[in-house]
């Protein structure tokens, strides 16, 4: 982190002369200045840039490639990622392969842990989002999946006693009336490889007005690198350095 | 009939324009205007002698005074002036004419003409001839020290207090000549007088701001002088050799905002012209890696970033005005209206959360500001971190561009000169660069305006 501080101080010093005017009433906060303030800030630094607003003026700093390992190292929360060898391997691979991040690519997805309520009953829900790029270059975040350990609706398991018998076609599928119209004994009607699509149910329940979210509790970004590495970027709001969006897991 | 109208207009003008000759001008809270020679100002009293024949030395309490304007055009706001009388009096006159607007902007330039509806002036920052509606003007300070108030002093006192550091900074950062003045891209032309504008901005752009004018036309009604007798306190012109001429004080119902003619670029032109655009930069760029993939929307939005931060600062300025006990209710309401005009719509939300607490509250912007109005401090002090961050702007399906500015601020609320509340907050402010089609000389062109959107506020300390 000291290296990053040094880099930042150099950046500020280099640009000081360029921008004499600025916000009139300012203060300097070291923790805030060094903090990785947005995921965009993380991407900048991952790509060997430090960009910031200084006294209201945009300052961009692209660094020479040799600086990159140091900058990458400053993005790792070493309290969370204990394996130093893995970190070193990770950084060296990115450096040598000249790998860069780009928001909008499929290899970045966002995981939101939210407090969701289904018919006023709370349940835990993870929404998976990714950026979708349209033909005209416009972008939008889209929900690509939803996960929960406790969906508040019934799951479907195969039931060997519930089925449409193999000769029922000769009776014009008379079993269907019993299975569908009498109770919820629908297990066995579906193919073995059928999986209940909870995401579709969620979409349906949102449309029906039965599902709402109260709070986003946690946001993580899961990023994959050419099937070589995956890493998790999480937010650390601590009054010390390093803070902000940092790598919390590499695997 | 026309003759009668002309006579009436002339009479009205005589009633409302008060010519003030030299010395200090004291504007009291009850609307009186006193030309005086001030002998002392301390925390408890202001001693002066009116410049009238046989006038006796008088003392007023600071609470009885709104503003004192000095011969050099500088002023003190009361009851808690930010500077001493001595330091204000020794200031040089401003290097150019200065217009203080209700948008809390300090426009610097040369006034070329003043009519009953507008002031024509050459904007030194934007390097353009511009017009500004009179009903957008709070005060004019001429470079010879003369001044004109266009509103009642008590109503604009807080605004002037907020702008005072900028006004004083104009002396310290006076450009050598008008022709050498830097342009102020990234800021709507009618707001382009702010000294915070980035020197790093490189391209020119025009912004639409028509909606502002209409709203202000409505809010302006509250400022209409109810009677000629009161009007005398509304518009006071300190005249001298070079002072501007006010021809007519009748208020116009129309408000078209500032008219600026400037070549406009289509968004395509902007993009193609500024890919990998330059900013004033450090030497680190020389060895910069060329391998980084550019995003599809990674065009040069430096000027928009600058403008976005400026809007946030404007917003913060309004927060200070709204939260101050000394702000008149009407002024606070107007500040709320002006603050809301910085946003893309009234549906934007301000999410307030406290570090360490999991829950957060979301309020619509008007509700948030109205609640802020109830928090009354004697004065507030808002400071910015000098290092902040703005994300790339990315095009969304609606054709607008979205980015986020992260800023840190300190807020201190004072009562009886004691800090009774302070916090350090991080604000994440969504910024929208909104495109609008506009007919310019028969051709449809896109103009872009920067507006604020949802805000996330986290108390950090």
Q: How far apart are the first and last CA of chain A?
A: 23
Using the beta-carbon criterion (under 8 Å), do B390 and A53 form an inter-chain contact? yes
Cβ contact, residue pair B410, A27, below 8 Å = yes
- Distance between CA atoms of residues B236 and B247, nearest Å: 13
DSSP state of B128: E
Which chain A residue is nearest to residue B388, measuring alpha carbons? Answer: A53
**Residue B387 is nearest to which of A33, A68, A139, comparing CB atoms?**
A33
Task: Write down the pLDDT at residue A76.
Answer: 95
Share of chain A above pLDDT 70, in %: 86
SS3 assignment, position B5 = helix
Number of residues written out for chain A: 251
Q: Are strands B118-123 and B106-114 parallel, antiparallel or unpaired?
A: antiparallel
Closest-CA distance of chain B to residue A97, Å: 10
Q: Which of A33, A42, A41 is nearest to A13 (CA)?
A: A33
pLDDT of B386: 80
Whether residue B389 and residue A217 make contact (CB cut-off 8 A), yes or no, is no
CA B453 distance to own-chain centroid? 20
Q: How far is CA B182 from CA B192, B270, B314, in A?
A: 11, 20, 21
Distances (CA, A) of B202 to A13, A175, B196: 22, 74, 15
* Per-residue model confidence as pLDDT tens digits over A24-44: 567 888 888 889 999 999 999
Percent of chain B topping pLDDT 90: 19
Task: Report the DSSP beta bridge partners of residue B409.
Answer: B384, B425
Beta carbons of B72 and B85 less than 8 angstroms apart: no
B-chain residue closest to A46, CA distance: B292
Instruction: Render pLDDT for A44-84 as a digit per residue (tens, 0 to 9).
Output: 999 999 988 887 778 888 888 988 999 999 999 999 998 99
Q: Shortest Cα distance from B250 to chain A (angstroms)?
A: 37
More confident call, B326 vs A147: A147
Q: Which of B167, B185, B351, B388 to mutate to test the interface with A (most CBs of A within 10 A)?
A: B388
Q: Go through the domains of chain B in sequence order and give each one's CATH number.
A: 2-17+92-238 (no CATH), 267-274+298-459 (3.10.450.50)
Comparing CA positions, the residue from A22, A216, A73 lying closest to residue B306 is A22
- H helices within B346-454, ranges in order? 365-374
Contacts for B362 with CB less than 8 Å, ≥ 6 apart: B349, B350, B351, B352
Q: Give Cβ neighbours of residue B30 (< 8 Å, ≥ 6 apart).
A: B64
- Whole-number Å distance between alpha carbons of A9 and B247: 55
Sequence-separated (6 or more) residues with CB below 8 Å from residue A250:
A76, A81, A83, A86, A87, A90, A229, A230, A231, A232
Please, are residues B323 and B413 in contact by the beta-carbon 8 Å criterion?
A: yes
| Nearest-angstrom CA–CA distance, B97 and B75 | 15
Residue with tokens 């700093």, as numbered in its chain = A61
DSSP, collapsed to helix, strand or coil, labels residue B280 as coil
Per CB-CB distance under 8 Å, the chain A contacts of B173 are 20-21
Peptide bond into A242 cis (omega under 30): yes
β A211-225/A229-236 pair status: antiparallel
Residues of chain B with confidence (pLDDT) below 70: 1-22, 173-301, 354-359, 459-461
The answer to whether B267 and B275 have CB atoms below 8 angstroms apart is no
Are B448 and B433 in contact, with CB atoms under 8 Å apart? yes
**Count of C-beta atoms within a 10 Å radius of residue B268:** 9
Cis bond before residue B79 (omega within 30° of 0)? yes
Among B66, B95, B93, B94, which Cα is nearest to B80's?
A: B66
Identify from B289, B313, B359, B454 which residue to disrupt to test chain A contact, counting A C-beta atoms within 10 A and taking the largest count.
B289
Contact yes or no for B360/B262 (Cβ under 8 A): no
A86-108 residue pLDDT tens: 999 999 999 999 999 988 887 89
Question: A64: which chain B residues are within 8 Å (Cβ-Cβ)?
Answer: 284, 287-289
First and final CA of chain B: distance in angstroms? Answer: 67
Let me know if A101 is exposed, middle or buried by CB neighbors in 10 A (0-12, 13-18, 19+).
buried
Number of other CB atoms surrounding residue B325 within 10 Å: 15
Q: Which of chain B's residues have a Cβ under 8 Å away from the Cβ of A57?
A: 198-200, 280, 306
Tell me the C-alpha distance between B27 and B217, whole Å: 26
C-alpha dihedral sign at B397, B399, B405, B411: negative
Q: Give dist(CA B315, CA B336) in Å, integer.
A: 9
Q: Do B293 and A102 touch (CB under 8 A)?
A: yes
Nearby residues of A187 by Cβ (< 8 Å), 6 or more positions away: A156, A157, A158, A159, A162
Distance from CA of A10 to the nearest CA of B (A): 9
Q: Quick check: B383 and A139 CB within 8 A?
A: no
CB hemisphere CA count around B80 (13 angstroms): 15
Distance in angstroms (rounded) separating the CA atoms of residues B252 and B236: 18
In 3D, which of B109, B184, B460 has the Cα closest to residue A56?
B184
The single-letter DSSP state of residue B183 is P
ipTM for the complex shown: 0.81
Q: Which long-range contacts (CB under 8 A, 24 or more apart) does B50-54 make?
A: B51/B23
Please judge whether A19 and B359 are an interchain contact, meaning their C-beta atoms are less than 8 angstroms apart.
Answer: no
**Which positions in chain A touch B163 (Cβ < 8 Å)?**
none
Domain boundary assignment for chain A:
2-15+26-99, 108-153+196-218, 156-195
Cβ pair A105, A129 in contact under 8 A: no
Contacts of A20 in chain B (CB under 8 A): 173, 199
């Amino acid at each position: 982190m000291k290296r990053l501080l040094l880099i930042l101080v150099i950046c500020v010093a280099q640009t000081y002369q360029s921008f004499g005017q600025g916000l009139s009433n300012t203060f300097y906060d070291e923790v805030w200045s060094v903090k990785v303030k947005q995921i965009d800030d993380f991407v900048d630094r991952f790509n060997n840039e430090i960009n910031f607003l200084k006294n209201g003026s945009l300052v961009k700093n692209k660094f020479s490639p040799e600086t990159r390992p140091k900058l990458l190292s400053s993005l790792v929360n070493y309290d969370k990622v204990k394996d130093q060898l893995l970190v070193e391997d990770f950084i060296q691979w990115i450096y040598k392969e000249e790998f860069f991040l780009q928001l909008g690519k499929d290899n970045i997805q966002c995981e939101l842990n939210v407090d969701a309520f289904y018919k006023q009953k709370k349940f835990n829900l993870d929404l998976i989002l990714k950026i979708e790029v349209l033909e005209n270059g416009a972008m939008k975040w889209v929900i690509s999946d939803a996960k929960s350990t406790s969906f508040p609706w019934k799951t479907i398991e195969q039931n060997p006693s519930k089925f449409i018998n193999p000769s029922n076609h000769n009776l014009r599928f008379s079993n269907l009336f019993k299975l569908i119209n009498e109770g919820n004994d629908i297990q066995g009607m579906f193919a073995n490889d059928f999986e209940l699509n909870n995401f579709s149910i969620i979409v349906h329940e949102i449309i029906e007005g039965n599902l709402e979210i109260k709070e986003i509790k946690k946001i993580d970004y899961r990023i994959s690198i050419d099937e070589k590495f995956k890493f998790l970027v999480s937010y650390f709001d601590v009054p010390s350095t390093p803070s902000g969006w940092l790598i919390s897991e590499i695997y | 009939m026309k003759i009668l109208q002309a006579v009436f207009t002339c009479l009205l003008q005589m009633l409302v324009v008060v010519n003030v000759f030299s010395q200090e001008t004291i504007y009291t809270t009850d609307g009186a205007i006193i030309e005086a020679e001030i002998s002392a100002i301390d925390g408890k009293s202001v001693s002066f002698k009116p410049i009238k024949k046989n006038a006796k030395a008088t003392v007023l309490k600071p609470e009885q005074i709104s503003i004192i304007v000095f011969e050099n055009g500088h002023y003190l706001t009361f009851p808690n002036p930010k500077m001493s009388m001595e330091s204000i009096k020794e200031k040089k006159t401003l290097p150019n004419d200065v217009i203080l607007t209700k948008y809390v902007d300090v426009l610097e330039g040369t006034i070329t003409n003043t009519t009953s509806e507008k002031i024509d002036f050459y904007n030194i920052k934007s390097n353009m001839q511009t017009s500004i509606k009179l009903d957008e003007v709070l005060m004019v300070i001429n470079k010879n020290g003369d001044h004109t108030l266009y509103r009642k002093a008590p109503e604009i006192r807080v605004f002037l207090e907020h702008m005072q550091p900028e006004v004083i900074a104009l002396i310290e950062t006076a450009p050598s000549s008008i022709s050498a003045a830097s342009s102020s891209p990234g800021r709507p032309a009618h707001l382009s007088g702010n000294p915070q504008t980035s020197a790093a901005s490189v391209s020119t752009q025009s912004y639409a701001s028509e909606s502002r004018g209409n709203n202000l036309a409505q809010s302006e009604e509250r400022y209409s002088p109810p009677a000629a007798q009161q009007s005398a306190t509304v518009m006071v012109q300190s005249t001298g050799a070079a002072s501007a001429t006010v021809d007519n004080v009748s208020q116009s119902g129309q408000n078209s905002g500032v008219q600026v003619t400037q070549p406009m670029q289509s968004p395509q032109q902007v993009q193609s012209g500024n890919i990998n655009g330059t900013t004033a930069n450090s030497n680190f760029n020389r060895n910069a890696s060329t391998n980084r993939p550019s995003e599809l929307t990674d065009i040069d939005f430096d000027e928009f970033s600058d403008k976005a931060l400026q809007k946030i600062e404007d917003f913060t300025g309004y927060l200070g005005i709204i939260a101050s006990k000394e702000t008149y209710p009407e002024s606070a309401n107007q500040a709320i209206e002006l603050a809301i005009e910085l946003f893309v719509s009234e549906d934007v939300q301000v999410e307030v959360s406290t570090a360490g607490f999991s829950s957060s509250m979301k309020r619509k912007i008007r509700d948030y500001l109205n609640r802020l109005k109830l928090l009354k401090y004697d004065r507030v002090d808002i400071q910015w971190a000098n290092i902040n961050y703005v994300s790339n702007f990315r095009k969304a399906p609606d054709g607008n561009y979205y980015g986020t500015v992260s800023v840190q601020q300190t807020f201190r609320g004072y009562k009886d000169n004691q800090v009774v509340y302070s916090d350090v907050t991080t604000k994440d402010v969504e910024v929208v660069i909104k495109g609008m089609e506009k007919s310019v000389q028969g051709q449809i062109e896109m103009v872009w305006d920067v507006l604020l959107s949802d805000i996330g506020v986290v108390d950090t300390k």
